[in-house]
Structure 1
Amino acid sequence: MCIAAWAWQCHPTHRLLLLFNRDEYHSRPTQPAQWWTPGEDGREILGGKDELGGGTWMGCTRDGKLAFLTNVREPSLMAGAKTRGDLPVRFLQGSHGPLEYAAEIAKEADRYNGFNLILADVNSGTMVYISNRLGCGPVIQTVAPGLHVLSNAALDSPWPKALRLEESFKRYLATHEDAGAPLKQMVEELMMDAVKAEKSMVPDTGVDPEWEYKLSSIFIDTAKGQGRYGTRSMAALAAKLDGEVTFYERYLEDSLWKENLIQFQMENAQ
């Protein structure tokens, strides 16, 4: 289901600081974050890979494009829907900017189960949010500079887990003004939080209330049916004003937690 928090164009040394937890069945085959080429044009993206659907939940490119995705919580799924993991990949592989791409996706949004999608061009300073499950149709909005949280409802919805992450992120940034602490420390302090909300405070999304309660923490580890479900990976991405990008990932593989650390310089950093 996933949860993300980020500071966008509001930090003294960074254009973007992003935290992201991916929640999924442990049995779903997944590749950790790495450079890979989804298409035939040779354009690489950096991100994890869902081997079942072929897409990703979060990725970026060397020239500053970024996309990440969360599901919208809903009681039932549409049979035959297109895979949501393609949405970030198509943006990262294509030539459209965030607004152009969002407008393109809006035309086919009803072919997907519920999604929230963030699209950004870090170089130009443009970030856009699109969802297909709000109001009477797809909603597209520009994301203003500031601190934002996205879980499984609309952008900045006051779900308990979103509010908890927002407050902890604010405190962290206030005590680490230069963001000099390693991203690993940021992930461990903020994204491994397994505290659940009070049952009376969990949102009513139409799914089983007990299941909703189990999903009410930032870090999730639980069972559903016959499979283990929960946080499969935790990531942090930091893009400095000078164009240096650091991507840290802590991911689960064969019941062991492993780490990735990848750095690169954004091309044509402005």
Structure 2
Amino acid sequence: MGIVGFQWGANQLTLLQNRDNWETRQVLLYKFIYNFVHQYALHCWLMSKCVIQRVIKAAAWNEGENILRGRCEESDGTWFCVSKRGRVAFLVDSALMVNMFDENGRGPESTPVEFFLSGLSPEMFAAKLVAEENEYHSQFEDEDDDEMSGRAYELIVADITSGSMVYISKPSSVESVVHTQQVAFGVHTLSLEGLDSGSPKDQRLRGLFNEMIGQNGNQELPPMNELAARLYDPTEAVPGDELTALFVDKIANLASSELDHERCGTTSTTAFSVNHTNKAKFYERYLENGNWYESNFAFNIA
């Protein structure tokens, strides 16, 4: 869950992202175990379901200090990552409470990491992901159980140095359909409704970005913490609907039979920019144990 606004151009990217999550960042884990009963030549899938913690820690460099991202220790997933080579991936997962995680812990937040590990161009990775999702869902073609589902996400993968950015959308966790398209230079939004949705929330963020660009012109961007502060706006784009605010304060009206005491809200804000001289800046404000913390990084894209 969450929303992203970004301006994409030749060797340049400016991004603002709010991440919404459950208060303790828990999700359901659906774990499939393949069983073979030799005597009857019977193949079956058994599903175990439990609630696990999926805390994505504050952004940090990996051991090689060439990839910057937050990291979930259980799944190795993230919702934003960038490398010193100029590869970038970010997402919102569109079915937070019903996404499947296989026995290896792969979920929507695994997709950015899969892009980095693949070493593929954005276009080739998109094609690979389409094939993998089709293969995964083909295992359940004869199943009637609605819980036999997979991942759902809205994902962007990009290579800043080559000027390539691809949008990958899998809106349904129970269907294999994946949409892909090249992302043109300009201002865009990414949310649960997809890329450049006409929803009031997306329109509000797009207007904020256009206003910021108009005010800034060709001048250098303001400090990253000031840029991120633009997303701390709790104003509801649709009055009375808390989820249409850019910054979602903790609310208790998202019913869940599994997590009926959990509350949902914005748990982190990310600001990121790369300018035409390949200088990158990253800022994060994140919620941990009820307190807000900040982190800053500056590096060069090589």
Asked whether 1:114 is paired with 2:135, we answer no
Structure-2 residue corresponding to 1:182: 223
Asked whether 1:247 is paired with 2:282, we answer yes
Deviations 1:62-118 (A, max 9, x none): 1000000112259x7255564111100011222101000010001123553221110
Structure-2 residue corresponding to 1:8: 8
- Please give the root-mean-square deviation of Cα atoms over the aligned residues, in Å: 2.2
Note if contact 1:45-1:61 (Cα within 8 Å) is conserved in structure 2: yes
Query: More displaced, 117-126 or 42-51?
Result: 42-51
Deviations 1:34-76 (A, max 9, x none): 1125xxxx584211112343200000111000000112259x7
Normalising by structure 2, we get a TM-score of: 0.76
Q: 2:19 aligns with which of 4, 18, 22?
A: 22
List gaps (5 residues or longer) in structure 1.
200-209
Asked whether 1:126 is paired with 2:159, we answer no
Q: 2:246 aligns with which of 208, 218, 221?
A: 218
SS of residue paired to 1:93: helix
SS of residue paired to 2:195: coil
Deviations 1:125-147 (A, max 9, x none): 10000112289821110000000
* Greater than 3 Å deviation, 4+ residue runs: 78-82
* Identity of matched residues, %: 32
Structure-1 residue corresponding to 2:51: none
Structure-2 residue corresponding to 1:32: 58
Kindly tell me: are residues 79 and 245 of structure 1, through their superposed partners in 2, closer, same or farther at Cα, counting changes over 3 Å?
Answer: closer
Kindly tell me: are residues 127 and 93 of structure 1, through their superposed partners in 2, closer, same or farther at Cα, counting changes over 3 Å?
Answer: same
Structure-2 residue corresponding to 1:159: 199
Structure-2 residue corresponding to 1:237: 272
Normalising by structure 1, we get a TM-score of: 0.84
Counterparts of 2:170 and 2:204 in 1: how far apart (Å)?
Answer: 25
List gaps (5 residues or longer) in structure 2.
26-54, 137-149, 255-259
Q: 1:49 aligns with which of 66, 71, 78?
A: 71
Report how far residue 259 of structure 1 moved: 0.7
SS of residue paired to 1:32: coil
What is the letter of the counterpart of residue 218 of structure 1? L
Structure-1 residue corresponding to 2:181: 141
Asked whether 1:93 is paired with 2:117, we answer yes
Counterparts of 2:220 and 2:205 in 1: how far apart (Å)?
Answer: 17
What is the letter of the counterpart of residue 283 of structure 2? Y
Counterparts of 2:176 and 2:264 in 1: how far apart (Å)?
Answer: 32
Deviations 1:165-185 (A, max 9, x none): 110111111111224311111
Note if contact 1:43-1:93 (Cα within 8 Å) is conserved in structure 2: no
Report how far residue 197 of structure 1 moved: 2.9
The structure number with the bigger radius of gyration is: 2
What is the letter of the counterpart of residue 4 of structure 2? A
Structure-2 residue corresponding to 1:72: 94
Query: More displaced, 213-222 or 16-25?
Result: 213-222
Counterparts of 2:201 and 2:220 in 1: how far apart (Å)?
Answer: 23
Aligned residues: 246
Counterparts of 1:155 and 1:45 in 2: how far apart (Å)?
Answer: 25
